[in-house]
Amino acid sequence: MGPTILAIESSCDETSAAVITNGKVLNNIIASQSVHQKYGGVVPELASRAHQQQIVQVVDRALSEAGIVPGRLDAIAFTRGPGLIGALLVGVSFAKGLALALQKPLIEVNHMQAHVLAHFIKDPVPAFPFLCLTVSGGHTQLVLVEDFLTMRVVGETQDDAAGEAFDKAAKLLGIPYPGGPLIDRYAREGRGDAFRFARTVMPGFDYSFSGIKTSFMYFLRAETSKDPEFIAKHRNDLCASLQRTLVDMLLEKMDKAAQAFGVTQLAVAGGVAANSELRSALSALGARRGWSVYIPDFQYCTDNAAMIAMAAHYKFLAGDFTSQEVSPLARYALS
């Protein structure tokens, strides 16, 4: 019988706990934080406070619903970084306290590695090597995955994350935070080729999304000065054209990287993986090239402890434990 591990995630605005036994995730309890909505983005101090309020109940629910008494755990795992330092600190401190009280080993997990390993929670799973595009409100990375714990970032954003580009563009259109899901919805009723926005061209497999936000802003400013009703009249076309641009940018680099590294398995992770156009365009790219495409269930794309548990499982098998001296890392390189 493999290990039973409790995993805790608190890097941003989801407080989450999960239990894994022998590589099988038993549950994935997630408490989201609605407190940030009225501020149009995650407020770090409020995130820390909400984690403190929620963490005991979330962990308690994960253990009781899995039918696991704390004494039966073989290890306690937690997200060490990257993320908001105050938010991470709540999960790290809680995990350390619990491990100390129960006299159990600790396992630290890199959040970005966990996003990739979310692909192993449920079948069908990708075969190694594969290329994973991790896209969310905080990250945009192309990761070449050679093994469960051997992965390398081959391209990443040099400024904003792709999800941030969706959210900031949404804000300019007067769409509430987080704007990504609503842009996706309005885009379905619009034309993706209605408008064109200048993109920043980046070398290699890196990305840049701050330029597209700026050109979108200047475009809207120029059009609304001519017609104050411009946004209201063209909302769906604006959403569809912006989404088309962002998805094209994401997949163009992914296609190039897959060819450069000779990879035939493509995977996508992170909150933006929920985007319907990204999903369909990725599937189309796979079909065109004869590559396999993997997209996890939505609950495993956004921040969750099940993926932390999956990473912890492989680290446990590798004997990779951490000490009580560990502290969180706001920046934590994958490789």
Binding residues for ligand KG4, rule: CB under 6 A, are 12, 136-138, 163, 166-167, 178-181, 184, 270-272, 274-275, 302-303
Query: Which span sits near Zn ion by CB under 5 A: 59-67, 128-136, 158-166, 241-249?
Result: 128-136
**Taking CB within 5 to 8 Å according to partner kind, which of Zn ion, ligand KG4, none is near residue 167?**
ligand KG4
**Taking CB within 5 to 8 Å according to partner kind, which of ligand KG4, Zn ion, none is near residue 263?**
none
Please say whether the beta carbons of 87 and 10 come within 8 A. Answer: yes
Which residues within the stretch 136-175 sit at the binding site for Zn ion (CB under 5 A)?
136
Q: What are phi and psi of 13, to 5 degrees?
A: -120, 20
**Taking CB within 5 to 8 Å according to partner kind, which of Zn ion, ligand KG4, none is near residue 155?**
none
Q: What is the residue whose two structure tokens read 């900031």?
A: 168
Which residues within the stretch 271-310 sit at the binding site for Zn ion (CB under 5 A)?
303
CA distances to 177, 199, 233, 267 from 173, rounded to whole Å, are 11, 19, 11, 31
Which residues are within 8 A (CB) of 286 and not within 5 positions of it... i.e. 6 or more apart? Answer: 266, 292, 293
CA 10/CA 30 separation, integer angstroms: 10
**Taking CB within 5 to 8 Å according to partner kind, which of ligand KG4, Zn ion, none is near residue 27?**
none
**Taking CB within 5 to 8 Å according to partner kind, which of Zn ion, ligand KG4, none is near residue 166?**
ligand KG4
**Taking CB within 5 to 8 Å according to partner kind, which of ligand KG4, Zn ion, none is near residue 178?**
ligand KG4
Number of DSSP helices (H) and strands (E) in the chain, helices first: 10, 10
Q: How far is the CB of 181 from ligand KG4 (least distance, A)?
A: 4
Query: 165 or 263, CB closer to ligand KG4?
Result: 165
Token digits of residue 117: 């390993």
**Taking CB within 5 to 8 Å according to partner kind, which of ligand KG4, Zn ion, none is near residue 302?**
ligand KG4
Size of the site for Zn ion (CB under 5 A): 2
Q: How far is the CB of 257 from ligand KG4 (least distance, A)?
A: 21
Query: 277 or 303, CB closer to Zn ion?
Result: 303
Query: 21 or 113, CB closer to ligand KG4?
Result: 113
Q: How far is the CB of 14 from Zn ion (least distance, A)?
A: 9
Token digits of residue 3: 């290990």
| Sign of the C-alpha dihedral computed for residues 221, 223, 227 and 233 taken in this order | negative
**Taking CB within 5 to 8 Å according to partner kind, which of Zn ion, ligand KG4, none is near residue 130?**
none
Q: Is 203 left (phi over 0), alpha (psi -120 to 50) or beta?
A: beta
Query: 96 or 139, CB closer to ligand KG4?
Result: 139
Compute how many other C-beta atoms are within 10 angstroms of the C-beta atom of residue 218: 11
What is the residue type of 141? Q
Query: 187 or 246, CB closer to Zn ion?
Result: 246
Name beta bridge partners: 142: 133, 155
Sequence-ordered alpha helix ranges (H) in 25-71: 44-66
Q: How far is the CB of 64 from ligand KG4 (least distance, A)?
A: 26
DSSP 279: H
Query: 88 or 274, CB closer to ligand KG4?
Result: 274
Compute how many other C-beta atoms are within 10 angstroms of the C-beta atom of residue 298: 11
Q: How far is the CB of 314 from Zn ion (least distance, A)?
A: 18
* Burial category of 319 from C-beta neighbours within 10 Å (exposed 0-12, middle 13-18, buried 19 and up): exposed
Q: Which residues bind Zn ion (CB under 5 A)?
A: 136, 303
